[in-house]
Structure 1
Amino acid sequence: MAVKFDRISNLIIVLVTLIVTSYLIEICSQLIIKKLPAYDSRWVFRAKKPPAYSDSPYFSAEFMHESSNGEKGKFDDKVRRLVNFEGKYINVIDGHRRTAFVPEDAKNTVYIYGASTIYSQEVPDEYTIPSIVQRKINEITTQYKVVNYGVSSMNSEQQLFFLHETTLKEGDIVIFFDGGCDIIYKVYNDYEYGLNINTLRNSEKPGVLESRILPVLEKLKLIHFAELLKYIKQQSPPLHTRNAEEVNARAIKASENFANNIRLAHQYSKASGADFYHFLQPSIFSLKSRTKHEQLLIDNFLLTPPGMEFVYTHSIDKFANQNDALNADGIISVDLRSVLDNKQGEVFLDFAHTTERANEIIATAIFSMVRWKR
């Protein structure tokens, strides 16, 4: 009888200990969460009119609604294709972001391929890089119309895929503006072929924390502890981005593949009688110095994925070296990493995306490098 009583007593002690420990963990988690930096997610941050939007004449709740809803796409096993959208500020027609200021009597086409920075959902149609390039072309000739081939998340290989679907003619111009998504998806995310329907499905699979641990904690009413674990997970760099040697190895492979895609794009363009230009894009990490606000954008792991700066730092020189090699091969490849160093005011909304002032600088640089026929 005494043995049975001891077992019951021990069990009660264990249960009480577990309950008290759980309660202490929950209280401590709540206190810790209150002291952690609170960051805004992408659309919450933008809706508050951050400094990059301070002088933007179009900024409004209506624009923000279109900005967050106008960029839609469908993935296949190769690329992501845009879905048409009609709005006041943002329009997608025949699978392409609308270019403003297009002349009616243009004889040739300028095709600008890139990712989200070329699509530019951060600004209305007339402020995208392709639209600004078009505006500048119109000042000297009406021979060209610009087509915006920007699609979010596309790397150089996927841009090449879109180019191969394009029928070029003598006198056309092809522009590739890239580098960022090759680093993001091939080095940071370790997606061999970039982002497509297959890698998207794999990336959406929940991990052990989301699928097993958090549901149990929520059932046990350890809500703050679950929130703390989610916070820690969100701000922690992926395991495969923490080792410099592994990152360097992927960066070498990605940069070599990147350069090969540019060479193939150049060959395809020249075979059709079109001129080809390549531009290595800038980012917040390539600035020679940062403002306090820009550093806050990097520190906010909801705007800049944790570990991205580490990966970019270990990758970009390899891409720049390939840029030099392309020029040595007779391909016009321009390094625009420093093009925003002398910008006035804030232009970044996160580590990669900018508003119209930066787009104006970038478009001016692109326009100045192209040999236009008048």
Structure 2
Amino acid sequence: MNDQRELNISLLKVVAEFFLKRNVNFVIVAGHDLNNLESHTETESWLKKIRFNQDGVGDRIAWLKSAPKHFEALYSDLPQYSKEYINNIFTPVPNINTRRGRANLDHKSRYVNVSNGYRHTVGQPEVYDNSIFIVGGSSTYGFGCEDKHTLPSLFQKLINESKFLRNTYSVFNLGARGNPKFVDIYKLLNLNVLPNDIVVLQGVDLDIVKKLSYLRTDMFHFVFPNFSERNNMEELFFDNGHVTYKGHALVAKQLFKNLFFSSSNNKQSKPIRFLAEEERVRALCLLDKFTHEFTLLHSNLDFYPELQHYLDELKLLRVTAESVGAVVVNSNPFTLGHRHLIECAASKMDYLFVFVVEEDLSYFSFKNRLAMVQEGTKDIANVTVVRSGKYIMSTTTCPSYFSREEKQTVELDASTDMDIFGEYIAPILNISVRYVGEEPLCNITNQHNQQMRNILPTYGVRVEVIKRILSKNNIISASLVRNYIQGSAVDRIEDLVPPVTLRHINSIVNT
């Protein structure tokens, strides 16, 4: 079990059981590597000899962005091919290490776009029955490709063009550059999947795939990318281990055929036990250890000075207490409901940090919201009110949250927000519990709370829901208060907000 390859084999068996028990199709796709091909073109032989160091071509990214000589054969058939195009698709999108894998930060450009941590999949249907999650490293993410040319986008295109599959599946790109496979495995074991979903792990070492292939079932598939047709398509590889959009299109077709046209597909397989319980427990313990060590050893906070500055700011607030909790509030405005949530949370913990959302996209300014919460909780001795910065509930970590009043049907992804909180913020302040208010009204906030309950416990942070309080049989909410203000009915809010908020509202209304 000390050998990393043997550990990955055991862990992939754990993953297969995990999905089979949930009636989810699981597919392992071998990675792209020129060393695995039986024959090579002249360009491929040259690429195998390339060395990315001071004695070779230098930095790999800089070399690729320079559009080396073989790029003419790779990209020149695209009408958009230019130096600007190459620079755009080979510009790395920032990501941040977490125990659940590298999380992509949001990015917008002409050809490469990331939202809510996911690379954009072109052609996703608005209404669909099930999800297809494709997990992996840079090949899954689509480094060196525009959005429509990634493996997930090309796979979605095949589904959309199929008469019997159209609108059945939406494909999600969960790829991130630089993930070792055991971190991808950790991500797989924390996926929220439904029966009949499909999960694809792309880029697994060929030897590992061969060793596991005897376990093939109707719902556990293996794909060995076949590049024997590459000569008919000119060149496919832009370096030793990555293919262009032509290669992704080839793999997408083979994956599509394996999943939907395989004669053995009847989706009636019963889960089978791949591992003895002792081996399973040991493998999972090592997975937890390695993912934690990976985060510590490969932290890339030097590339995120704002986050590092914010964490340094939080270090000054550390307290010596056995139990520390957290609450995150927007308080737009601060209501008796917020006060109740904070009071309850503070009564359960030795100390409580209350983070006020700093993003200034609310009816009340951040300055006013912060002042209301600070003054409205100053009598609670074990509470400290803190600004949230750009890495807790912000347009950087969870942009969909801020469109909740206009688009209640939007599908929220709070994974980046939760990963950053769990991996970086909670440990600094020794936070072990995060409290949230019960949410019966807002679909977006409810999604956020649900994802919080699924993700934060993987970091050792328990999530506890506090029941809402009522006023005259109505749930107290900030949105109700804002409705009264906008309807010139300020006199109706006295039972909904504390005195400090009422003073702020009156000062605004009377100016």
TM-score by structure 1 length? 0.49
- Of structures 1 and 2, the one with the larger relative CO (CA 8 A, separation 6+) is 1
